[in-house]
Amino acid sequence: MFHIVIPARYGSTRLPGKALLPILDKPMIAWVWERAVQAGATRVIVATDDSRIAEEMSGRGAEVAMTREDHASGTDRLAEVVRQLHLSDEHIVVNLQGDEPLMPAANIRRVAAMLEENPEADMATLMEPLDRKDAHLESIVKVVASDNGRALYFSRAPIPAHRPGGPAAPMYRHVGLYAYRAGFLSRFVDWPMAPMEQSESLEQLRALANNAFIQIEVAPEPVPAGIDTEDDLIAIRQHLAATS
C-alpha cells in the first residue's frame, strides 16, 4: 500500500506555467496524474499552491492538496501533504515529479515495492545504465551503489572515474523518482542543507550526509526524458502525436 504525491507549481524559470502547458488534448500535469493512477496507489494527490492547477485537476476528478507558496522544493511540498494527511511513520509515499508525463507506471510501482521489501531502507529510487560519453554532462546526475543496492553517492561529476590502463566500471544515471517512509520524510525536511548538497545542488545528498539508507536498483522500464525546456516539450508532443 502506498500513496503518490505529485508536486506541481505554476511558476517555472524556463517554462512559465509549465504544469498547465498543453500536450495534445490535455495539460502536462494531467498526463502525469494519469500515469500515477495507472500505478495502483491507494491515493494519488496533486499538491499545488496555485488555484489554476487546483481547478484544472479537480475538474478531472483528481484529489488536490493546497500547499504553501514558499516551499524551496517539491520534497518540502510533499512533506506538507504528509502532515496534512496525518500519515503514520510507516506509510510509503512516492514523489512523482509533475514534469514526468511519460514515467512508466511499472517504475512507480517498483520504487514503492522496494521499500516494502527492504524494511531497513529510508528511501528508494532508481537508476539506468549510462554511456561514458555522456558522463561529462552536469545535467545528468550519476550514482554509485553498493553490490546490495545501497546508494553510496550521487554527483554531477563523472563517477566512478576511470583511470587509463584498467577496466572501466559501469556508470549509472539517477532517475529522479523517489519513495519515502513518511516518518523519514518529516525528519528529512527539518534537517539543514548539507555542505555536499549545496556543492552539488543535489537534495538527496542531505539524506546520505545524515546516514540515511537509500535503496536503489535499475529501473524495470526505460525512463523517457522529462520536461525542463521548450525543446523537451516539443519532443514529447511529437512523440505522443506519433504514438497515440
**Residue 183 has what pLDDT?**
96
**Residue 239 has what pLDDT?**
86
Residues in the chain: 244
Strands 26-27 and 22-23 come out as antiparallel
**Residue 186 has what pLDDT?**
94
Distance CA 154, CA 80 (A): 25
Distance CA 218, CA 175 (A): 9
**Residue 138 has what pLDDT?**
94
Q: Cβ neighbours of residue 166 under 8 Å, at least 6 residues apart?
A: none
Reply yes or no: is the peptide bond before residue 160 cis, omega within 30 of 0.
yes
Distance CA 65, CA 10 (A): 14
Q: Judge whether 188 and 73 are in contact, CB under 8 Å.
A: no
Q: How many other C-beta atoms can be found within 10 angstroms of the C-beta atom of residue 232?
A: 16
Distance CA 35, CA 108 (A): 9
**Residue 97 has what pLDDT?**
93
**Residue 122 has what pLDDT?**
98
**Residue 62 has what pLDDT?**
98
Q: Which amino acid is at 194?
A: A
Distance CA 53, CA 225 (A): 22
* Cell of residue 147, nine digits: 553490490
**Residue 164 has what pLDDT?**
87
Distance CA 138, CA 3 (A): 31
The parts of the chain modelled with pLDDT lower than 50 are none
Distance CA 91, CA 82 (A): 9
**Residue 9 has what pLDDT?**
87
Q: How many other C-beta atoms can be found within 10 angstroms of the C-beta atom of residue 128?
A: 14
Distance CA 162, CA 171 (A): 10
**Residue 104 has what pLDDT?**
96
Distance CA 100, CA 102 (A): 6
64: left (phi over 0), alpha (psi -120 to 50) or beta: beta
The pTM score is: 0.94
Q: Tell me which residue has cell 503514520.
A: 88
DSSP letter assigned to residue 179: E
DSSP secondary structure string, 4-61?
A: EEEEE-S--SSSTTGGG-EETTEEHHHHHHHHHHHTT-SEEEEEES-HHHHHHHHHTT
**Residue 15 has what pLDDT?**
82
